Structure 1
């Protein structure tokens, strides 16, 4: 009956949570930060333990962070992968682990009935503190990663993405794929994962996020329990600054595909950037709002040059990429790229109209509640707030910050932050004859 209960809970878990969440924050005795939100109505909790241990910490061993995170639940303590999976399944819990450029995240979704909750948390604690990194499991995961990398070489989208990040970031830690490459992953040894884990999976580098129907006392006990087996350690040094490009560039990679993938951009914004909301709203109008964006209208609707065209600012710890992207028929690539650059240039120069700004604000604020309408979505937002050290009232003031954006502030910010002469352009497809 208990797994059936979880299924019922997950079914109704899309119900909207009430109002903006109140985030409590404190530190454990080991110095780890804890972020807690009490939600009532559903007997479940979403828990995350976040480490500054993303692919930006790979050093020269590209792929190390991702492989380490993927190996955590392949064996821990006295349990193998099957036994770990059975422990979570027996209480209807869902476990996950993975890494992005900035962070590694270990997550748990569990019912709050005490026997179920305690068993799920205990299992997560053993995974965090006693991962086995068994040699046979490592070889299997490494081979799986290598197979994925070989497959990625056959995808023009993957080839374009790798080349684009390299063009933007060069030798900066953001300049390589989180999956690594064939050479670096092939060279990894199981001891590399053990050393990476020992360095970065420590209490001083950990943030705990708890969102759900648990009281504060239980949240405090849970956070301390989860981290009880970790050494204190220390936080890693700050990442190096991202250097702005000194000149634009254009790179074409010949690929036997019927479509050419086009990526244009430069380093953009970071999470604590004072310009973030101007760039966010401006991008929503330019290419972030799907079928009603300026890029979509100019490239797709007016000229039929691509199925879609979009843009995004991806904020990270350091300036993440500003990306404008489309796919087009090989022989239409020059024209599509010309329209892309012209649309972007005009938007930087003139900014949006007042009507476009009003529509964008309504769209963003009107859909905001849907971004935090489940425990899991809210936990992801709180994890972002925690990792990037944003104000605890970030969710409460989000819509207010959007409303404060003006046509003038967008235009001024874009002129200052996006220089068309410094754009990096990557195209991947079959060269037109």
Structure 2
């Protein structure tokens, strides 16, 4: 088997004033090439037993391929993949159909409470910046996009200089290098995305969006300016794990086990080239929006002041090690890890050294990094759901007070 990831720096942050072009360009790649129409392309891919997928994010778009490595199957599969990324047809009829498919999907995303919280966070913290549209694509942008815009975007963003390739599978290095050469030589050349401008220094804010539902989706977001290659980043990874990953995390113990306020509370790091975010996410009954925001903010500030215990840090390392081992055990996930590491500018031996980096972090080290690298004064609190008269949190049972 071979798992291959082509990762172009062609995410939605490149859209600028043409929202929707980056997403439509990616989604149109497998809708026919200059040599065959969409039906012929699909039939040939299926006939080879090859799986092709696409995904777009804020900074990157990815094309993945899984194929058997028998030459009679892999060689034509690579030819089809190369045609797909280098010579897409951008047929006007197919574009019209793709727009009709994307419009209800995109409009529906804005009605999902959890996604809407992220939209509001990005609109505030990244106002005027390419990161400002969290979902990347607007319904208006999809409708306005033209074939000419897609061709122009493809000519720039799908350049060989704008590409990183990761692959895992039953190939020799010589075969892998020949495959890379075949793909890159077929692509447009020379252009590469420029570095994004710094993100704005916005103030903290509390936002509520009224949306029908049974409860409110909640987010507390704190800007971070720590890249994955920064020596401080492993401490942030561990801090996020201790604070909000699993039933034994601080948030779950406080919000669910002790108080019964929510089914789930979690944290995640979202690093980007120009500046990222630490997210804390939970759901809450509408009457406890304000009180739960106060509680979560206090838990975060206490965690920053005190740092984790040694026991919490040891558990977090075990959880992260288990997660890494599960991923490297499967080719598809390992290829995705390699592509992510390349995207983040990490060294080639990053996966080998990752656990050693985590082992070197101490509780004092986590506390120092949290206090020096998190600007809690700029936190944004967002709630999305029905409004209700606010109440204090229920009293804890006397044994827990």
Give the shorter-chain TM-score range. over 0.9
Match of 1:102 in 2: 59
The SS at the match of 2:313 is: helix
* Structure 1 runs of 4+ with >3 Å offset: none
Match of 1:365 in 2: 321
1:153 is displaced (CA, Å) by 3.3
The SS at the match of 1:75 is: coil
1:152 is displaced (CA, Å) by 2.2
1: CA distance, partners of 2:135 / 2:152: 18
Q: What do the CA deviations read for 1:111-152 (whole angstroms, capped 9, x no partner)?
A: 010010001001001111110000011111112221112222
2:122–2:131 CA contact under 8 A, matched in 1: yes
2: CA distance, partners of 1:299 / 1:164: 22
The SS at the match of 2:198 is: coil
2:156–2:188 CA contact under 8 A, matched in 1: no
Match of 1:38 in 2: none
Q: 1:205 to 1:423 in 2, by over 3 A?
A: same
The SS at the match of 2:67 is: strand
Match of 2:76 in 1: 119
Map 1:30-45 onto structure 2 (within 5 A). Answer: 44-45=1-2
2: CA distance, partners of 1:388 / 1:362: 24
The SS at the match of 1:73 is: coil
Map 1:238-253 onto structure 2 (within 5 A). Answer: 238-245=195-202, 247-253=203-209
Q: Which deviates more, 170-179 or 129-138?
A: 170-179
1:348 paired with 2:312, answer no
1: CA distance, partners of 2:352 / 2:17: 40
The SS at the match of 1:252 is: strand
1:46–1:376 CA contact under 8 A, matched in 2: yes
Q: What do the CA deviations read for 1:26-47 (whole angstroms, capped 9, x no partner)?
A: xxxxxxxxxxxxxxxxxx1111
Match of 1:33 in 2: none
Match of 1:49 in 2: 6
2: CA distance, partners of 1:253 / 1:338: 18
1:244 is displaced (CA, Å) by 3.8
Match 1:405 to one of 348, 356, 361 = 361
Where structure 1 has 5 or more consecutive residues not aligned to the other structure, the ranges are 1-43
The SS at the match of 1:53 is: coil
Match of 2:236 in 1: 279
The SS at the match of 1:79 is: coil
1: CA distance, partners of 2:48 / 2:89: 23
1:212 paired with 2:169, answer yes
Q: What do the CA deviations read for 1:363-395 (whole angstroms, capped 9, x no partner)?
A: 222442112111111111111122222111101
Match of 2:149 in 1: 192
1:312 paired with 2:268, answer yes
Where structure 2 has 5 or more consecutive residues not aligned to the other structure, the ranges are 390-401
2: CA distance, partners of 1:204 / 1:361: 37
1: CA distance, partners of 2:117 / 2:318: 34
Q: What do the CA deviations read for 1:37-59 (whole angstroms, capped 9, x no partner)?
A: xxxxxxx1111221111111111
2: CA distance, partners of 1:167 / 1:112: 48
1:185 is displaced (CA, Å) by 2.1
Match of 1:384 in 2: 340
Match 1:151 to one of 70, 87, 108 = 108
1:179 is displaced (CA, Å) by 4.3
1:365–1:402 CA contact under 8 A, matched in 2: no
Task: Give aligned pairs, total.
Answer: 388
Match 1:338 to one of 294, 307, 320 = 294
The RMSD of aligned alpha carbons is 1.4
Match of 2:42 in 1: 85
The SS at the match of 1:250 is: strand
TM superposition score normalised by structure 2: 0.93
1: CA distance, partners of 2:64 / 2:106: 25
2: CA distance, partners of 1:207 / 1:355: 39
